[in-house]
Structure formats: structure tokens, C-alpha cells
Structure 1
């Protein structure tokens, strides 16, 4: 049985539609999008509110979760790296997590058939 991976991409929201369109072209039509906040090398940003400068430590991002076969994961990662890379701090991270099994509740399908 081919290995299954969960791909977690945490990045800026601006490129989401372009990423979705590119992944749709290779047959990836299912993903979960989660609004998240956090910080890394960016260390936050300064915003002005009612004339006062405020240091905002948590930066809003999105997390995209995609379940795929290991063979298709490299293509997904390649597309994500190409589209999401601006060369600036804050482009994000891609994390690969092995999945033991997936079960579709409605049909009881398992493994890659359940994706």
C-alpha cells in the first residue's frame, strides 16, 4: 500500500487562490484552510492605531492541509514552493506528516480510496 502524507503549508493568505488554481490543475481539489496566528523570524510588525504605534507580535497566516499519496506529494510541494516563494521572511513552512490510515465515514472506504 502506498504511503499517505498530510501536507501542512503555513503561509500568507494573499497567494491562496493562485495555489488553489494550480493544485486544481493537477487534480488536487480537496484541502482544509485554517486561519492561524503566530510568529517566527518576522518577530511581529508595527501597526498604527488611532495615531499610536503598536507592536503586533502575532502575524495572521493560513494553514493549508492536504492529504495525498507520497507519489503526488512531491508535485504538490514543488508547486507550493514555486507559488509561495517571494524571497521575503514570512513566506512560510511546509511540514510533511505520515498518515497511518484514512477512513471515509460515509462509505467506510480506507486508505487512498478515502481521499
Structure 2
């Protein structure tokens, strides 16, 4: 099993969520609102005529635990939906998951996903 975490633009989240519900057999996801910066380095906004530089930008962190065989299709799916070609599209991280346990039933492994 693998954990796929994608940091994406806020405006792409609803489109990704709807597409996942209809196109992929993903049984669940965790969504977190996060702040961060990378190559985008923040953005300049204006408040009452004053320029203010915001270095931490709001993003959405979406996490999935999937079977190893599904990792590449999930990555390609996220990239297809979330890619705009502009700086700030986000990143995808993949890490191993040693064990999953469903608390309610005690199921383990892929049955618990």
C-alpha cells in the first residue's frame, strides 16, 4: 500500500473531488487546508491601496491510501485534473504504508482501505 498526498490549488479541489467520485474507485480521502510556499514565492495583494506581500499561500492537501498497483493511475489522474501549467500547481508525494487497521471492524491491510 502507498499513501499519495497531493498539494493542489484550492480552486481545483472540487473538480478533483467530483472526478474521483465518478472515475476512480477511491474509497476515501483526507482533505486538509494548508499554507505554504515553493517556487511561487507568495503573491502580492492590495488592501486599501497598500501592496501587501503574502509569502504563505493557501493550498489543499489531499491524501489517499491506495494499493500499489493503483498509484500511477492516481498520480496521472491528479495531474490531469490539477495541472494548469502555471507556477503553483502543487506537488504529489508518494510514501509507503506498512499497515492499515480499520478501528470499527479490526480489518487490516487492503481490506481496511
TM-score when normalising by structure 2: 0.95
Task: Count how many residue pairs are aligned between Structure 1 and Structure 2.
Answer: 112
Runs of 4+ in 1 over 6 A off after TM superposition: none
Instruction: Give the alignment partner of residue 10 of structure 2, picking from 13, 17, 23.
Output: 13
Q: Aligned partners of 1:92 and 1:31: how far apart in 2?
A: 17
Which residue in the other structure is 1:108 paired with?
A: 106
Instruction: Give the alignment partner of residue 40 of structure 1, picking from 24, 38, 41.
Output: 38
Measured against aligned partners, the alpha-carbon deviations of 1:40-65 in whole angstroms (never above 9, x if no partner) come to 00111111012111010000001000
Q: Aligned partners of 1:51 and 1:18: how far apart in 2?
A: 33
Do the aligned residues in 2 keep the contact of 1:23 with 1:76 (CA within 8 Å)?
no
TM-score when normalising by structure 1: 0.94
Question: Any stretches of 5+ residues in structure 1 without a counterpart?
Answer: none
Which residue in the other structure is 1:85 paired with?
A: 83
Question: Any stretches of 5+ residues in structure 2 without a counterpart?
Answer: none
